[in-house]
A and B are shown apart, each in its own frame.
Chain A
Amino acid sequence: MTASAETLNPSSIAPPIEVAQRRRFWTNWLFVIPAMLFQFFWGWYPMVVAIFLSLTNAPIRGDLQWRWFENYARLVQDPLVPFAFRVTLVYAALSIALTFFIPILVAILLMEMPPKTMRIMMILWYLPLSGIASTLFWQYMYNESFGIFQWIATAVLGLEPQAFLSSERWVLFWLVVPGILMYGPGLYYMAGLQSIPKSYYEAAEIEGAGFWRKIWTISLPRLRPIIAMTLTFAIIGSLQEFTWMDLMTRGGPNGASRTVVMYMFTLLNNGRYGDATALAVMLFILIMAIVLVYRAVFKSDPDV
C-alpha cells in the first residue's frame, strides 16, 4: 500500500465513529465542567443554601432549628422592609431612566461626529475610573460646605444653598446623576452601531430617509439585542445596589436612600442571618419576576 493510498483510506487513520463521538462527548464536558462547577459553587449552591437558611434560625454557631416562614412573617411586619423595597424600586427606575437611555442617544450622536472628534469624546465619556476614587470624588463634589456643586448653585446661579445628599426628597436623584456621566453602557452601543453595515444607511438615504428616520428604523432596531442584554443587567444591578449608597449616604437621611441590600447588610450586622437570607430570597423573587415580565414583553431579535 502506498502512502497516497493510506491517506485516501479514512478507516486506516480515523477512529470508528462511535469512539470519535465518545471522545467528543468527554472533550465537550471537560470544557463545560469548570464553568459548571464555578456556577454551582458561586451561584446555585449559595442560592439553595440561602433559601434553606431563610427557613431556619441560621445561627453562626450551634444547632440549626427550623423556623419555616417565621423569618418571612417578621419581615412582612417590619415597616422598614416595604420602605426599603420602595427606595430600591424608585432608585432602579430613576437609574434606568437616566443612565440607561441617555447613553443610547449619546452613542448615536457620537457616531454622527467626525472620527477625530468622536475619538476624543469617547475618551472623555468612557474614561475608566476606579469605583472608590469616583466615590470620593463625588463626595467632595456634593459636599455642602465646600463642594463645587454648592459653589455653582450659590455663587454662579445665585440660588439658596442646596441640600443635595441630605435632602430626603432629592437624595436618590443626586445619587443617580454620577451614573449619567460615568457608568453608562455606552461602549456596548458604540460597538453595536459600528457593526451595522453602512449599506443599510446608504439604501435608506437613497429612499429619502432623514436623520431621525434612520435612527428609528435602522439604528435602534439593530441595537435591540444589545439593549435587551444591557437592560437585563441594568435591572438586576440597580435592584441590587449597595456600595454606592453605603459609601455616599449610608442609607440616609432618614432611610431615604436605604436599599433592600443595604437593609439586608444591616440585618447581617445585627446577627439576624435568618432574616437577612429571607430578605435576600424576597429580593431574588422580585428581580426574577421583573426580568421575566421584561423578557416576555421586550423582543430582542431585531427581525421579529
Chain B
Amino acid sequence: MSTSTRLSRRDFLRLAAVGAGALALRACGVRPGNGTPGTTTRITLKTGGWPIDVPFTGEQLSAFQKGYNKAFQQWLDLNPGVTVEKIEFNVWSADALRTAVAGGTAPFQYPIGVLGGWNVPGIQASFAEGLFADITAAFHNNKVGDLLDPKVAASTSRWQTRDGIVFGIPYEVVSSEGFFFNRAHLAEIGMDEIPLTWTWQDMRELALKLTKGERKGLAMAAYVLDWILPTMGIDFDGLLSRYPVPGRSFNWRWDFTTFVDDIAEGVNLWRTMYFEDQSVYSDPNFWDFSQNGQLAAAFYAEKASMTPGIHLFFSDMANKMNKTIREADEFMGFVRQPLGPLGFTYQLPFSVSAWAFNPDLNPEELDKAVSLFSYMLLGDGFVTIAQEIYKETGDPSEIVRAIRWPFANKYSHTIPGVPGTLDEATGKRYSEAINTLFSQPKLPEVGEYVPAEVNRGPGDTPWYDKLTRWAYSTDPFDVKADAAELEKILNQQAKTFPSGVDEKAFAEGIHRYYQDVAAFLQANAPTFYEQRFKPFYDLRIKPEFG
C-alpha cells in the first residue's frame, strides 16, 4: 500500500472537522449550493394528512379517493403556485401538536378541540394564547360563511370570539353523547325506539330487561358516571357545582356539598347497576370511547345491547360490522343520554367541531389554506367528491358511508347531481332520530357570555380522582366526605391562580348567562329549575349579581 493513500491522524482530524461543520450547517437548515431563493411566490402548505390530504395513489382507488383526487386537482388548477406537502404528524396528539405549534413546525390545519380541550372556555383561551391563527380576513375573502349549514353558522362559540374574530372553520357537527342500541334486542322486550325523555332510572330498568344469559344490557365505562352526575347539575364545570366569584383571584369556586345527596344518588345508581344488577359489561380497565374499543366490540358481537357513543360513529360502525348503511339502520339506533331525575340534561343537541390554522402562516398562505380547506370540505370540492362517489357506486348511501353525516355544510339533505335526499340514503329511522335530536333547544354555554380567561385555573384531575373511586372502588368510602374534600382541593387550588379578565365584563356576562339559563330551564326543565337551580341561584348568584 502506498503511504500517500494512508489517512494520517491530522487528515482524519481535518476530515472530521469538515464533516462536523457540514452536519452543523445541515442541522441549521443551510443547504450548501442552493444559492439565493428565487423570487417566484410559491406557497407550500404542509398537512398531517387529515382531513386535507395529498392526492391518493394506487391502482385500486375507492370512489371517495377518486372523487377527492378530482376535486383536489380542480382546486390546484384554480390556485397555481400552491403545492400541498404531506408530513408525518399526528394532529390528534395534544402533546405533539402543542410542541409543534410552539416550535413552528405544525401542519397548516389541525383540530381546535385537541388544544382547546373540546370545551368553549378552553378553546377561547387557546386562541387568546396564540395557538390558532386569526383567519377573519381569509374567512370572509373566501365567503366561507355562505357554505355553512345555517345552524352551524349560528353556533359560533367554538370557532369565533365574542367580538367576531374567526379562528376556525367548522368541519363536522357532533351530536350529544348517547347510546347506540340493538333494535332486535329492543324488539324482544316489546320496544321500538328509546324516547328522548328517558331517564337514568329508565336506562337501569331497560338494561336489566335486556340482560339475558351471557348478554349484558349495557356496555359502559366509568365515564358514564360522569354523564349521570352532570344531569343532576354536578360536574367539574357543572351548573350547580361551580359558581362565579369575580374579583377574588381566579373567578370560579366549587361547591359539591350543597347538593351532595344528589351525588350519592347518582353514585348509588351506577354502583347498583355495576355491582348488583350485573347488567353492565364493564371493567376498570375500560376507558375507550370509540367505535374501535372493547365496549363497541361487545356491541358488535351482540354481547351487549347498548354501547356509548356519538352519532359520528355510525358510518364507521357500519363498516366495522360489514353492513351497508341501510343494514346498519336496521341493526341499530341512537339516542342521546338519559335525562336526570328532575328532567335536566347538560348536553347540547350538537356541537361544532372546527379546525384551526397554523399561526405562523402569513396572510397569503392563510388565505390559500382557508380556500383549500373550505373548498374540499364545504364547497365545490365537497360536491365533486359526493358526485363522484354516486357516479361510481350509483348509491347515495355510499356518500354517507364515506363522509360522516350530517355535514357542517349546506349539503346535508340534498347534493346537486345526486338524486333523492341524504336523509333517505342514511336510513329513515336513524336520520329522523338525528334530525330530531339536532333540533332540540340548546342550553346556554358560559363561554359565549364571559371573556376568555387565558389562565385556565385548576384542572379536573381531583374530580376524576373521585369519579374513579365512586365508580369502581371496593374499598369503603363516604361520598359526603369525598365531596367535601373535592370542594376543598379545588377551592384551595383556585385561590392560587390569578385572573386576567376584565371584572366588569365578566360580571356583566355572568349576569346575562344565568338569566338565560333560568329562562331555558323554566321552559325545558321546570322541576329542575324549581327544586335545584332556584335554590342555587338564590344562594350563590343572587347575592353577588342581583
Contacts and interface: CB of A to CB of B under 8 A. Distances in A.
Partners in one complex: yes
Contact of B9 (A23, A139, A168, A268): A23
Interface stretch (B57-65, B188-196, B373-381, B491-499): B491-499
Contact of B496 (A23, A77, A145, A270): A77
A73 interface: yes
B466 A254 contact: yes
B461 A255 contact: yes
B95 interface: yes
Contacts of B101: 60-61
A176 interface: no
A168 B475 contact: yes
B51 interface: no
Nearest to B475: A168
Contacts of A167: 473-475
Interface in B116-174: 125-126, 129-131
A74 B497 CA distance: 8
Interface stretch (B69-77, B280-288, B342-350, B382-390): B280-288
Nearest to B459: A270
A253 interface: yes
B326 interface: no
B539 interface: no
Main secondary structure of the interface of A (DSSP, over half): loop
B461 A60 contact: no
Contact of A27 (B13, B473, B488, B497): B13
B129 A73 contact: no
Interface string A253-269: 11100100001001111
B511 interface: no
Contact of A271 (B129, B464, B472): B129
Interface in A176-225: none
Given A61-B101, A145-B283, A253-B469, A163 B475 contact: yes
A124 B461 CA distance: 40
Given A61-B129, A163-B473, A255-B465, A270 B456 contact: yes
B10 interface: yes
B10 A253 contact: no
Given A73-B496, A143-B285, A253-B284, A166 B94 contact: no
Interface residues of A, number: 40
Interface string B249-280: 00000000000000000000000000000000
Interface string A67-98: 00000011001111000000000000000000
Nearest to A267: B459
A277 B359 CA distance: 25
A166 B130 contact: no
Interface of B: 9-10, 13, 16, 94-95, 98, 101-102, 125-126, 129-131, 283-285, 287, 359, 456, 459, 461-462, 464-466, 468-469, 472-475, 488-489, 492-493, 495-497
Given A143-B283, A144-B283, 12 more contacts: A27-B9, A59-B129, A60-B102, A77-B492, A79-B493, A166-B473, A167-B474, A254-B466, A255-B461, A258-B465, A263-B461, A267-B459
19 contacts: A23-B10, A30-B13, A59-B129, A59-B130, A61-B102, A74-B497, A80-B489, A145-B283, A166-B468, A166-B474, A167-B473, A168-B475, A169-B475, A252-B465, A253-B284, A254-B473, A269-B95, A269-B459, A271-B456
- The 4 lowest CB-CB distance pairs between A and B, nearest first, are A252-B468, A254-B469, A61-B130, A163-B474
